[in-house]
Amino acid sequence: MARFAAAVPTEPPSRKRPKAGTSASVSISFQNCAHGPEIAAAPLRPRGRLGAVTVLALGALVIPALTSPGQAQTPGKSQDTLMEQARQQFQPIPENPPALPGNTATPAKVALGKMLYFDPRLSASHAISCNSCHNIGLGGVDAEPTSLGHRWQHGGRNAPTVLNAVFDKSQFWDGRAKDLEAQAGGPIVNPVEMGSPEPHVAEQLRGIPGYHEAFAKAFPDETDPITLANVQKAIAVFEATLITPNAPFDRYLKGDPNALSATEKAGLALFMNKGCAACHNGINVGGATYAPFGVVTKPGASLLPPDDKGRFMVTKTPGDEYVFKVPSLRNIALTAPYFHTGAAWDLRVAVSVMGASQLGIHLTPEEVDKIAAFLGSLTGEQPQVTYPMLPPSVASTPQPQP
């Protein structure tokens, strides 16, 4: 489920790099197709002085120019303008988790989902839980390039964060799961990850007496509630509670001009002016669309392995080769290493790579530091989760597989 991927959705244009002191604009439109948004974009073009960005159209979102070339502003007015422009492109994380369509959250269901999230017995080895790869105490990730799974196998991609994943339009780097409920079942039955055969999940839980009452309370209208489908529903409503409101940037969006430092504000302005916000926008500062990695310059094989073609592996559409979900940048300072390969451990390196590969620009060290400072302001209040007491196994409980 987030880290850096692509920033501006367009095929690599044939053009010269903008001169120093200029910024790039891109015209973006979305068309409907069978597998989701199809992205069409005009070539990037230098447009005036730094900070003079023309209108960006991203779906229904219209991003007006921050300033006009040569337009002078007083410091106070400039700060007001920065806040207003930020509000047009981003929204704060809410204080309370959103409702999931068709999956009503109740205290009993959330409590069950929490137990299942931490229970390693959902894995064939009884050694891996959801929290193993999406550790709530580590920003919702495992701090590994790729996660260690069943029988010491490694997953093919870096584990995205579970925090605020409820606000993403889809789950996984390739968007193969439409929501948290669909995502929750995938790793459990994946032979590389948790390795439990699908029929075994319900069998395992039925063999743990304490789960009978927990499922009955969570799904009171069902005569046989212990099913994989209900496991997914329960885990999803718990994961939906894992949100991180009140980041400094959220407080800024709500009207507190002092929530961000001068450096963070400068980084925010660069983030918008340079074009990063064309894809990394909205409530999750990303997570709302797909884009190719390597729009202008293809990164090296360590960042973009040729055998991982991203969303193409789901849709089989040629235009989706090396297209990935644009990840959320919420709590990005906590979730190293970065990219779907987990190949970059330094946030500043990731920022520089994105500038070159997605925007075709060279960011100076000072610009990188300011953007990284802004990204640090996206760290919100972390979920305070008490580790649950899990029902014990008994003699008749299915045993772990080697």
Write out the catalytic residue numbers.
193
- Distance in angstroms (rounded) separating the CA atoms of residues 247 and 346: 21
Count of C-beta atoms within a 10 Å radius of residue 201: 25
Residue type, 272: M
Contact 51, 72 (CB under 8 A): no
Count of C-beta atoms within a 10 Å radius of residue 1: 28
- Distance in angstroms (rounded) separating the CA atoms of residues 394 and 385: 27
CA atoms within 13 A on the CB side of 32: 0
Contact 80, 271 (CB under 8 A): no
Contact 194, 188 (CB under 8 A): yes
Contact 15, 43 (CB under 8 A): yes
For residue 34, the SS3 value is: coil
- Distance in angstroms (rounded) separating the CA atoms of residues 36 and 288: 11
- Distance in angstroms (rounded) separating the CA atoms of residues 207 and 117: 18
- Distance in angstroms (rounded) separating the CA atoms of residues 256 and 87: 12
- Distance in angstroms (rounded) separating the CA atoms of residues 196 and 192: 10
Of 268, 269, 267, 249, the C-alpha closest to 259 is: 249
Contact 25, 45 (CB under 8 A): yes
Residues 6+ apart with CB under 8 A from 309: 320, 321, 322
Residue type, 87: R
